Structures are given as C-alpha cells and as structure tokens.
Amino acid sequence: MAKKVTFDYWKHLYSRRTREMVSSEIRDLLSLSAREDIISFSGGLPEVRALNYQKLEKYIKRSLKTDGDITLQYGDSNGYYPLRTRLIEVMALEGIKIDEEDIIITTGGQQALDLLAKVFIDSGDYIITEAPTYTGALNAFKAYEAKIAGISSDKDGIIVSEVEKKLKYFYDNNKIVKFIYLVPNFSNPSGFTLSMARRKELLKIVKKYNTVIIEDNPYGMLRYEGRPVPSIKEMDINGDNKSVIYISTLSKLFAPGFRIGWIVAPHLIIEKLILGVQSSVLCSSSFSQRIAYEYFSDPSWKDNITEFIKIYHKRRNAMLQALEENLSGIATWSKPEGGFFIWLKVPHYINTRDMLADAVGRKVAFVPGTGFYSDGRGKDAARLAFCTETSENIKKGIKILSEIIKEKIKLYESFPR
Ligand SMILES: Cc1ncc(COP(=O)(O)O)c(C=O)c1O
C-alpha cells in the first residue's frame, strides 16, 4: 500500500485561488445526511424515488437503440439541439420565450455558475449577491477571486434600495460591478421570493449602472401556493434584453444525477460561454442529455412535477406546523411559498454552529447560517431543508432542534448579567 503523506507537501505549488476554495459546509454535511439514522434537514436532496424508474429504463434503451451514436459520442459544446428545444418549451411555461441560439446546456447549474464566473470575473473584481445566498455560488465566485458585497434580504427578497446605494458607491469610486447574483424564487437558503415591485426596480437600476443580473431559478416551478411572479429575464426580454442572464437546472425538476443545467443569455455571451465549455469539459454528457430529451418529450413529465409539488407541499406544511408548535415566540422563520428551504433565526446569542454539534449528537442535521454569507454573518441562523424527510421525521427533528434551542436559552438566562 502507498505511504500516506500527512503534511501538505505541495502547498508552495497550489494556485492563489485555492486559498479561497473552502469545502462547502453543505457537501460536508451531505455525508452525514447519508447516514440512515440521521434526520437530515441539511442537503436540498430532491425526492428522486418519486420518478418512474421503469420509464427511465425504457428511455435509456430507446436512446441506445435508436441513437446510440449520439448517446455515446461527443456532442456540441452548446448542448444537444433537441434537448435545447425541449428546455425552451419548459421555460415557455414560466413565460420566458427565447431562440435556440440564446441557450447553452451545462453540466448542472453549478457549472453554469462556474462558467459565468470564468467569463466575467478577473481577480479582485466586484460582484453583488443577496445575503444570505447559495453557498455553491459563493464558492464558484470566490474560486475566481471575486470581491463579494452581500446585500441583505427580507421576506420580499434582496433590499433593492441597498443594492442601489452599493452600485452608486462603486460607481463613484470608479469601480465596475461585474454582476448581481440572485435566486429570486424561493431562494436558497432563505425561501424568500423577490417581489414584483423590487424586480422592476432592480432591473431599472441595473440598466442605470450598466451591469447585469444573474437570475438563478432552480425552484420556480415548485410553487405550493400563491401566484407566480414573472421572471426578471422575461421582463428584460420584453425590454432591450441586455441586462439578465438566466440559469436553471433539471436537478430539482427531474434528477440531479443527470447533471444538466443551462444558461440563457444574448448570443454574444453564449459564444464566450461555449469557449468556456470547450476549455473545461468539451461538452456536457451526451448520454444524460439524450435521456433527458426522451423524458421531456413525454408529456407525463408534467405529472411528475405535480407529484413533486404534492410531496414537498406536504413536507413544507409539516415543518411550518412543527416550528409553530415548538418555537413560537422563541425563534422566527421564513414561510416559503415553494422551493426546498426554510430560514430559521434563533436568539442572537445562540451560535448555530455550536447547535449543530448537539443536533448531530441527537441525530438531526441542518446547515448553520454562516455558510451562506461571504462576511461571517449568519451565526444566529440555520437553513432547514424540508424536501428530504417524511412529515413524521420532520416533526421529530424539529422537536429535537427546539429542545436544543430551549436548553441554550436556559443556559444563557442562567448567567448573571
Ligand atoms: C440556487 C442554486 N443554484 C444552483 C444549484 C446547483 O444545481 P445543480 O445540481 O444543477 O448543479 C443549486 C443546487 O442546490 C441551487 O440551489
């Protein structure tokens, strides 16, 4: 067996950017969630067991039988054309109408973020994100050494007046903001949705300051109540179509194992992104794309979305009810109309990282809030994913978390002040 080197012998050789590349707390915790005895509110794992595996088998067989040379061969760097047309149909259901040349298929939404960072960010460039925001996006942007300004959000999404102040500040100091990154629908991690009024306002100021929005929308179709809000991309297409780059993924609408995402942007940006794909993966998996094409060619994919919505809606309700029963008056939490996540705020003197150790000891996992900020905020917050566990487990898990919170409060109150 090879000898294990226990000190980092290669430290002097690594690139500077690796210093910014820290392991995602979510991924680390995913290894915990995989343990059967843990009630996991950590990873946003979709309920893939609700898919019809027999149908998938049929799609795989058909792909190999009728199009083996496409399924197993290298493909176009901008993605398998027939799948691009299907994805355009999927987006049209959310009101986004685009041409085939304005879309590129990527290896998951995560590669979409990496590619956009590669195309737009030079070391030391400024970008703006919601705070809190998706850890995977922060990691992708940090890997290209972006300087990140995190703007707070409330139940109506990012606070646009604060975005404007920040843009003005950068403008007055001759600094360009490369983009503003947002998850406007049922945000990861907060569950907040950006209001229509704020979408309009944001689009206006982005044009004024000559930058772009990256609208990341993995969860928009998973709405459990309330009325859909038009995407910012749709609003931009109806205007001059210069200010919004749109990302989505099949990870939550179909299955993350396929690793299929996509980017919609004006074709000049798509051309740059194609170069980015060619220098990283050449093309996304032809195999995955051909099977996904079969899946989205069968109209029953919409029934699967209905089934997903039914499952997650029930779980969201179970979590909201359990929080109400156990933590009312003690903590606060978001009430998402869709998506996978609830954002829990505990009293300011409780550090959710410390809470996690206790929780894991009692077989419950969640993600502490600090992982979703680039500036150390979020100590008194936690992301609770309701998508994975059954309603019974959600009830049990929230009860355990609330007991831990109550113990921490008791301890704090016992200190003389
Ligand atoms: C907001 C957001 N963007 C992107 C991704 C990455 O998605 P994918 O699994 O397609 O890489 C996720 C995954 O959870 C996400 O929540």
Q: Give the CATH number of the domain where residue 354 resides.
A: 3.90.1150.10
Residue 331 lies in a domain: yes
Is residue 332 within a helix (H) or strand (E), and if so which, with residue range? strand 332-333
Phi and psi of 260, rounded to 5°? -120, 125
Give the pLDDT band (50/70/90) at residue 218: very high
Asked whether residue 99 falls in the same domain as residue 137, the answer is: yes
Instruction: Label residue 127 exposed, middle or buried (CB < 10 Å: 0-12, 13-18, 19+).
Output: buried
pTM for this model (two decimals): 0.95
CA 23, CA 8: separation in Å to the nearest integer? 16
Q: pLDDT (tens digit, 9 = 90+) per residue, 27-82?
A: 565 566 667 789 999 989 999 999 999 999 999 999 999 999 999 999 999 999 99
Task: Among 263, 297, 331, give the residue marking a domain's end.
Answer: 297
Ligand 1 centroid to 256 CA: how many Å?
9
Q: What pLDDT, on a 0 to 100 scale, did the predictor assign at position 12?
A: 87
Q: What pLDDT, on a 0 to 100 scale, did the predictor assign at position 257?
A: 97
Mean pLDDT of all residues belonging to the chain: 94
Q: Give the CATH number of the domain where residue 244 resides.
A: 3.40.640.10
Among 225, 392, 369, 223, which residue's Cα sits nearest to residue 321? 392
Asked whether residue 229 falls in the same domain as residue 97, the answer is: yes
Residue 244 lies in a domain: yes
Question: Considering its fold, how many domains does the chain have in total?
Answer: 2
User: In the chain, pLDDT over 70 holds for what percent of residues?
Assistant: 97
Asked whether residue 259 falls in the same domain as residue 325, the answer is: no
pLDDT > 90? residue 24: no
Asked whether residue 250 falls in the same domain as residue 327, the answer is: no
Provide the 3-class DSSP secondary structure of residue 382. Answer: strand
Query: Which residues lie with the beta carbon below 6 Å from any ligand 1 atom?
Result: 44, 108-110, 134, 136, 183, 188, 216, 218, 249, 251, 256, 261
Asked whether residue 223 falls in the same domain as residue 78, the answer is: yes
Q: What pLDDT, on a 0 to 100 scale, did the predictor assign at position 416?
A: 78
Residue 409 lies in a domain: yes
Give the pLDDT band (50/70/90) at residue 11: confident
Question: Which residue matches tokens 């609330």?
Answer: 402
Asked whether residue 273 falls in the same domain as residue 351, the answer is: no
Task: Among 245, 280, 297, give the residue marking a domain's end.
Answer: 297
Q: pLDDT (tens digit, 9 = 90+) per residue, 78-129?
A: 999 999 999 999 999 999 999 999 999 999 999 999 999 999 999 999 999 9
Among 365, 400, 389, which residue's Cα sits nearest to residue 312? 389
Residue 65 lies in a domain: no
**Rounded alpha-carbon distances, angstroms, from residue 186 to 102, 221, 224, 415:** 25, 10, 11, 39
Ligand 1 centroid to 190 CA: how many Å?
14
- 197 HSE (CA, 13 A, CB side): 3
Residue 77 lies in a domain: yes
Mean pLDDT of 5-18: 85
Asked whether residue 179 falls in the same domain as residue 87, the answer is: yes
Asked whether residue 274 falls in the same domain as residue 130, the answer is: yes
Q: pLDDT (tens digit, 9 = 90+) per residue, 166-188?
A: 999 999 999 999 999 999 999 99
Asked whether residue 38 falls in the same domain as residue 106, the answer is: no
Ligand 1 centroid to 217 CA: how many Å?
9
Residue 170 lies in a domain: yes
Asked whether residue 88 falls in the same domain as residue 193, the answer is: yes
Task: Among 277, 297, 317, give the residue marking a domain's end.
Answer: 297
* DSSP secondary structure, 71-115, as one string: HTS---TT--HHHHHHHHHHHHTTT----GGGEEEESHHHHHHHH
pLDDT > 80? residue 320: yes
- Cα distance from N-terminal residue to C-terminal residue, the chain: 58
Ligand 1, atom 5: closest residue by C-alpha: 109
Domain that holds residue 208: 72-297
Atom of ligand 1 nearest to the CA of 250: 10
pLDDT > 70? residue 23: no
- Asked if 125 and 176 touch (Cβ cutoff 8 Å), the reply is yes
Ligand 1 centroid to 51 CA: how many Å?
19
User: Which structure tokens are listed for 290?
Assistant: 């051909």
Asked whether residue 111 falls in the same domain as residue 229, the answer is: yes
Residue 249 lies in a domain: yes
Q: pLDDT (tens digit, 9 = 90+) per residue, 231-267?
A: 999 999 999 999 999 999 999 999 999 999 999 999 9
Residue 3 lies in a domain: no
Provide the 3-class DSSP secondary structure of residue 346. Answer: coil
pLDDT > 80? residue 313: yes
Ligand 1 centroid to 193 CA: how many Å?
16
Atom of ligand 1 nearest to the CA of 113: 4
Asked whether residue 222 falls in the same domain as residue 108, the answer is: yes
Give the pLDDT band (50/70/90) at residue 308: very high
